[in-house]
Structure 1
Amino acid sequence: MANDNTVFVGLDVHKESIVAAYSVGFGEVSSIGSIGVLERDIERLCKRMQSKASNVVFVYEAGPCGYGLQRQLSRAGFACHVCAPSLIAKKAGDRVKTDRRDAEKLVKALRSGDLSFVHVPDERDEAFRDLVRAWSGAKEDLKQAKQRLKSFLLVHGVRYTGSADWREAHRRWLSRFTFPEVWSQLAFEEHRRSVEDRLTQCQRLEQVLRDAAPDWRFYPVIQALQALRGVQFTVAVGVISEAGDLSRFDNPRQLMAWLGLVPSERSSGASVKKGGITKAGNSVARKLLIEAAWSYRYIAKVSPIIQKRHEGLPKPIIDRAWDAQLRLCRRFRKLILQGKNRNVVVTAVARELAGFIWDIARRTPVAAA
C-alpha cells in the first residue's frame, strides 16, 4: 500500500470544517487546509486526490460526527478508515496542537501502519444500536431521578420501613405520602412524577426493542446468548448492539480487551506491575456484563426462567451455557474464599463470561449484512 501509486489522506473532521493533508507514498506531507463539510466539497477533494495517484486511502478519527463521511467515501469507491483517537501515539514533548498538524499526523501514522481502526457498523446495525442506546440513556435518567427523590426524602428525614425497591408497594406508599408544607409537597410530587415518567419511558423502549429485535440479523445470537445465566434479553441486546459481529474477534481475549475487562500492566525489566482493568473499551457493554456476572454468586442451577429461555435452542448451546454456569459459579466462590474483594471477583467473572459469549456467538449463524 505504501508506494508512489497510493496517496494517503488524513482528515481532521469537525462539525463545521474538515482540514485535510496528504502525501503520495512516503513523500512529503502537504496540507490542503479546510475543504468544507458538504458532499460536493468531499467530491472535489476526491477528484483532486485521484489526479495524484491511482489509489487513494482516507483516514479520520472516530468522534461525534459519526460514520457518515466514511460511508460517503466508501460508496464513491475509496478506502476510508476510522481510527481510535485514544490509541494514536503522541510525543511527550509536543505541546502544539492544531487541526493542520492533526491531519498531517494522521497521514504519517496511516502510511506507517501505526493506527488502530474501529469497527464501522452498517447503517441498519447502527440504527438498531441507536434504539438500544436510547433505552440505555432512559435507564440512566431513571437511576438519577430515583437518586434525586431518595436524597430529597433523606434530607427531610422520611424513611420507608419496607424494601425501597420501587415495586408496587413502595410506589403506592410514595403516592400516598404528603408533606405538611405546600412547597415541599410540590417539590416531592415533581420528583415522584419524574421517576414515574422515566419508568414509563423505559418500559416503552424495552417493548419497542422486543418488537424490533426479531427483524434484526443478529436476533439468533441474542436468543442463543440468553441461554447463559444472567444474560437476559436486555443484556444480550445491549452487548451485541455495541459489539456487532463477534466473529470479527479472532479469539475471546480480543473481545475481553475490547470490553476493557483485561488488567492494566506497567512493567519494566524484572518489575511487573498489574493494576485494575483498563476500561479502554466499550463502557455500555462492560457495565451490562458486570451486572450479569453478579448472578453467578449463587449455586449453579437451571431456574424456571432460564429453562424457558432454553426452549427452541440447539442442545450444544444449552450444554455450553451449563458449562459456563458450572465454571463461573465455582470461580466466584473460589475467589471469595481467597479473600478477594467482591467487585474484583465479579469483574473477573465478567471477563470469563465474555469468553463464553464469544464462543456461543461464533456457533450461531447470522445473516450477511
Structure 2
Amino acid sequence: DELKRARQTLKAFLLSHGVRYVGVANWGPAHRNWLSKFSFGNEWQDFAFNELRRAIEDRFAQCQRLESAMRDAVPRWGFYPAVLALQSMRGIQFTAAVGLLSELGDLSRFAHPRQLMAWLGVTPSEYSSGGKRRQGGITKTGNSFARKLLIEAAWSYRHTAKVSPEIQRRHEGLPKVIVDRAWDAQVRLCRRYRKLVARGKSTNVAIVAVARELAGFIWDIGRLGMAQASPRSE
C-alpha cells in the first residue's frame, strides 16, 4: 500500500507539471529507467521529483526484501501446497497467494464455497420490506484485507483467457487437475465479465461479480492443492 501511494504521489506531481510518460506507465524497467533520467531543468522541481522517486525505490526495495524473506520461510509452512496451487491462477502471484491463505487459513473449514464468499463479504446484501425482497451492494463483512486481494486478482480476468510465460512457469510441477481447473477459471470468469459489461453493468459491478466467483475457484483449487500433497492412504 505504501508503494502504491508513493507511485500515485509521483504520478500526480508529474501531471501537475504537465509531464506524461509516452510509453506504458507500468513501473517496469523501461518506465523506471525513464524516471531515473528525467529532469525538469529546474533545481527545486528536480529536488522534489527526485525525493518522490527515491521514496518509490525505497518502498520497492523493501517489498523485495520482504518477498525474499517470505520465499525462504513459506516452503516450511503447512499451507505451502495451497500456495503453489493458487499460483496456477491468473492474478494470484506468490505474495497474493500467501496473503490470502494467511487470512483464510484452512480452506476445508468452509464446507461450501458460498461460505467463503460470505466470509469475504462479496455476497449481495438483502433487504425485505412489505413482502418484497431486493438485493443491494455486497455486505463487505469479514476480512477486508483478503477481500482487497480478491478484488485486485479479479481485475486480471477482464482480459482474454491465455497462459502467459509467467503462468506457465508457475504451472511447472503442478498436477494436471489443478492446471485444468485454473484454465476453467480463466475461461469462465473472462466470459462472465464480458457478459455483464455487455448487459450494461458498470466495470466495478462486473469485477465484484467476478471476484465472487473467483472465491469459489480459490476454495476449490486451494483444497485440491492440499489434497494432492497429503499422503495417500495405503
Q: TM-score, normalising length from structure 2?
A: 0.88
Structure 1 segments of 4+ aligned residues over 4 angstroms from their partners: none
Distance in 2 (alpha carbons) for counterparts of 1:211 and 1:307? 22
**Displacement of 1:150 after TM fit?**
1.8
Structure 1, 180-189 or 204-213: larger mean CA deviation: 180-189
* Cα distance change of structure 1 residues 359 and 163 upon mapping to structure 2, 3 Å threshold: closer
Letter in 1 for 2:50: E
Partner secondary structure for residue 134 of structure 2: strand
* Cα distance change of structure 1 residues 276 and 307 upon mapping to structure 2, 3 Å threshold: same
Partner residue in 2 for 1:316: 177
Partner residue in 2 for 1:233: 94
Partner secondary structure for residue 135 of structure 2: strand
Q: CA RMSD in A?
A: 1.9
Structure 1, gaps ≥5 residues long: 1-139
Distance in 2 (alpha carbons) for counterparts of 1:167 and 1:226? 21
Partner secondary structure for residue 302 of structure 1: coil
Partner secondary structure for residue 174 of structure 1: helix
Rg bigger for which structure? Answer: 1
Distance in 2 (alpha carbons) for counterparts of 1:205 and 1:194? 17
**Displacement of 1:173 after TM fit?**
2.6
Letter in 1 for 2:199: Q
* Cα distance change of structure 1 residues 286 and 303 upon mapping to structure 2, 3 Å threshold: same
The structure richer in strand per residue is 1
Match of 1:306 among 159, 162, 167: 167
Distance in 1 (alpha carbons) for counterparts of 2:38 and 2:173? 47
Partner secondary structure for residue 88 of structure 2: coil
Question: Could you give the per-residue CA deviations for residues 271-330 of structure 1, whole angstroms, max 9, x where no partner exists?
Answer: 222111111121221121122222222333333332322222222222322322232222
Matched, 1:212 2:73: yes
Where do residues 129-168 of structure 1 align in structure 2 (5 Å cutoff)? 140-168=1-29
Match of 2:157 among 285, 289, 296: 296
The structure richer in helix per residue is 2
Letter in 1 for 2:70: L
Distance in 2 (alpha carbons) for counterparts of 1:324 and 1:158? 40
Distance in 1 (alpha carbons) for counterparts of 2:105 and 2:47? 46
* Cα distance change of structure 1 residues 245 and 343 upon mapping to structure 2, 3 Å threshold: same
Match of 1:272 among 111, 118, 133: 133
Where do residues 151-190 of structure 1 align in structure 2 (5 Å cutoff)? 151-190=12-51
Tell me the percent identity.
66
Partner residue in 2 for 1:3: none
Where do residues 88-99 of structure 1 align in structure 2 (5 Å cutoff)? none
Match of 2:84 among 217, 223, 228: 223
Question: Could you give the per-residue CA deviations for residues 22-48 of structure 1, whole angstroms, max 9, x where no partner exists?
Answer: xxxxxxxxxxxxxxxxxxxxxxxxxxx
Distance in 2 (alpha carbons) for counterparts of 1:170 and 1:204? 22
Partner secondary structure for residue 4 of structure 2: helix
* Cα distance change of structure 1 residues 298 and 168 upon mapping to structure 2, 3 Å threshold: closer
Distance in 2 (alpha carbons) for counterparts of 1:148 and 1:329? 32
* Cα distance change of structure 1 residues 192 and 359 upon mapping to structure 2, 3 Å threshold: same
Distance in 2 (alpha carbons) for counterparts of 1:294 and 1:143? 16
Question: Could you give the per-residue CA deviations for residues 315-349 of structure 1, whole angstroms, max 9, x where no partner exists?
Answer: 22223223222322221222122121111111111
* Cα distance change of structure 1 residues 170 and 230 upon mapping to structure 2, 3 Å threshold: closer
Where do residues 21-100 of structure 1 align in structure 2 (5 Å cutoff)? none
Distance in 1 (alpha carbons) for counterparts of 2:216 and 2:83? 16
